[in-house]
Chains A and B, each alone.
Chain A
């Protein structure tokens, strides 16, 4: 934990050194930037970003923001939630460290998402102080998430690796399309949770890095520059495009995650608050894990 803090602070210091020096964008690189804009042999990132940002991004975000909850609303009305008794045996699955790390990430997301949307629809909110504040909060709450993302990745890595059972899970969508309580042979995390894990971790890291590039503007990206041959401004364009596209996936799965834990499986959210998972819930939704716990005499 300490190590990550130090790494993070070191990165911040490096960044401030980077922008103390004159920016490449308006210096040496400017000619290259102007000549390369929209040329046949270039990646046409300037025009591409302009097109995506002006015509598509906001609409896709709006689609995700309304579409995903709508699907779940229908699911709730038609299939309904799965309810498990919460008075039975319990197993202590998430220790204090797990829960703290998870909660820090959760709080960060609860600020990052709405503020992100305020920026995307900045026009609707009239610009100025409110949107500027949202932008600053968006940057600020990246810090707690950046601190916990690596420990979170490590502590659940083993559980999040895909296996053959997950294919079956995807074929019946985890049994969430039926009202019945089918026994699902998932391990501690089912395929849906694993998917969210990878999107949150890899997508999250992508969001942090691309966001940092855009925030600091003069972030020295020598290595990326050498590998891709892209100029600083084109790297920034890539960052902006990635940040938005990754945003679609993160937002969609975050809403799913919240719906699942709060509504689809009634009260499942308590397991990450108290640390205890409930016996019947585990037996039905995570049967492979249940058998293992049973063998060890945990239930």
Chain B
């Protein structure tokens, strides 16, 4: 089985924040948590400005999974990296290991203690029963189980945000690069 990947085509991203907002709305995320974030480099510099949308990249050999002291991560056969919030102790180690700054922590404990880690699930829920009330509450919608694409990609008006198995994502991207007639 091929692995699921995200790709954001920065030639197309128009910095509209739709992905980020739609994600937060769909999963009813607490304030302060954004699983997907739009980032702009060289803001306002003509010809150089470039935007892209970042979330958990569902790494192959995910570093977060390697460092977790309670071993609460599990990587699905299709490559989606998920974790068990009921096991997580909010130690923050996954954040130190992650190259993309994806893991985030709601402050729900006493004295500002970090709560269970939250990150993008590629809309694939968690270890609980698919589409159960509890799964939805802890991890948000499980759109993958329903055969739908993740929310962020669904709302991307320029189709900058691609998601799917690595093969087809790179096929689409190669076509685009060829069409533009210039390098990636």
Q: Is the interface of A mostly helix, strand, loop or mixed?
A: helix
A49 touching B99, Cβ below 8 Å = no
User: How far apart are the CA atoms of A49 and B113 in the complex, in Å?
Assistant: 22
Provided the pairs A25-B101, A46-B97, A53-B67 are in contact, do residues A119 and B87 lie with their beta carbons within 8 angstroms? no
Using a CB-CB cutoff of 8 Å, which residues 1-47 of chain B contact chain A? 34, 37, 39, 41
A34 touching B89, Cβ below 8 Å = no
A33 touching B97, Cβ below 8 Å = no
Number of interface residues of A (CB under 8 A): 40
Provided the pairs A50-B67, A132-B90, A139-B113 are in contact, do residues A26 and B97 lie with their beta carbons within 8 angstroms? no
A127 touching B113, Cβ below 8 Å = no
Provided the pairs A16-B112, A217-B92 are in contact, do residues A128 and B101 lie with their beta carbons within 8 angstroms? no
Q: How far is the CB of B21 from chain A (nearest CB, A)?
A: 16
Give the chain B neighbours of A240 by CB distance below 8 A. 92-93, 96
Q: How far is the CB of A10 from chain B (nearest CB, A)?
A: 15
Provided the pairs A19-B112, A49-B96 are in contact, do residues A26 and B37 lie with their beta carbons within 8 angstroms? yes
**A143 — nearest CB in chain B belongs to which residue?**
B111
Provided the pairs A30-B37, A33-B101, A217-B114 are in contact, do residues A19 and B93 lie with their beta carbons within 8 angstroms? no
Contact of B90 among A16, A54, A58, A135 (CB under 8 A): A135
Residue interface bits B64-76, CB-to-A below 8 A is 1, else 0? 0011011110000
Contact of A53 among B66, B84, B87, B88 (CB under 8 A): B66
Give the chain B neighbours of A16 by CB distance below 8 A. 112
Give the chain B neighbours of A73 by CB distance below 8 A. none
Please classify how large the interface on chain B is, using the bins under 10, 10 to 19, 20 to 34, 35 or more: 35 or more
User: How far apart are the CA atoms of A30 and B86 in the complex, in Å?
Assistant: 27
Give the chain B neighbours of A26 by CB distance below 8 A. 34, 37, 101, 104
User: How far apart are the CA atoms of A26 and B110 in the complex, in Å?
Assistant: 23
Q: How far is the CB of B81 from chain A (nearest CB, A)?
A: 14
**A237 — nearest CB in chain B belongs to which residue?**
B96
Provided the pairs A19-B107, A214-B92 are in contact, do residues A50 and B66 lie with their beta carbons within 8 angstroms? yes
User: How far apart are the CA atoms of A17 and B109 in the complex, in Å?
Assistant: 16
Give the chain A neighbours of B67 by CB distance below 8 A. 49-50, 53-54
Give the chain A neighbours of B84 by CB distance below 8 A. 127
A122 touching B96, Cβ below 8 Å = no
Residue interface bits A161-184, CB-to-B below 8 A is 1, else 0? 000000000000000000000000
Q: How far is the CB of B88 from chain A (nearest CB, A)?
A: 7
User: How far apart are the CA atoms of A16 and B107 in the complex, in Å?
Assistant: 11
Q: How far is the CB of B184 from chain A (nearest CB, A)?
A: 17
Contact of B70 among A131, A139, A217 (CB under 8 A): A131
Q: How far is the CB of A150 from chain B (nearest CB, A)?
A: 21
Given contacts A47-B63, A136-B113, list 17 more A-B pairs with CB under 8 A: A19-B112, A25-B101, A30-B101, A31-B39, A33-B101, A50-B66, A50-B97, A58-B69, A125-B70, A127-B71, A127-B72, A128-B86, A135-B90, A217-B105, A236-B95, A236-B96, A240-B96
Q: Which 9 A-B pairs have the closest CB atoms?
A: A127-B70, A127-B87, A54-B66, A122-B70, A122-B69, A37-B99, A53-B67, A123-B71, A50-B97
In the assembled complex, 27 residue pairs joining A and B whose CB atoms fall closer than 8 Å, in A order, are A15-B112, A30-B101, A33-B101, A34-B100, A46-B96, A46-B98, A49-B97, A50-B63, A50-B66, A50-B67, A53-B93, A119-B89, A119-B91, A121-B69, A122-B71, A123-B70, A125-B70, A127-B89, A131-B69, A136-B113, A139-B113, A215-B113, A217-B114, A233-B101, A236-B92, A240-B92, A240-B96
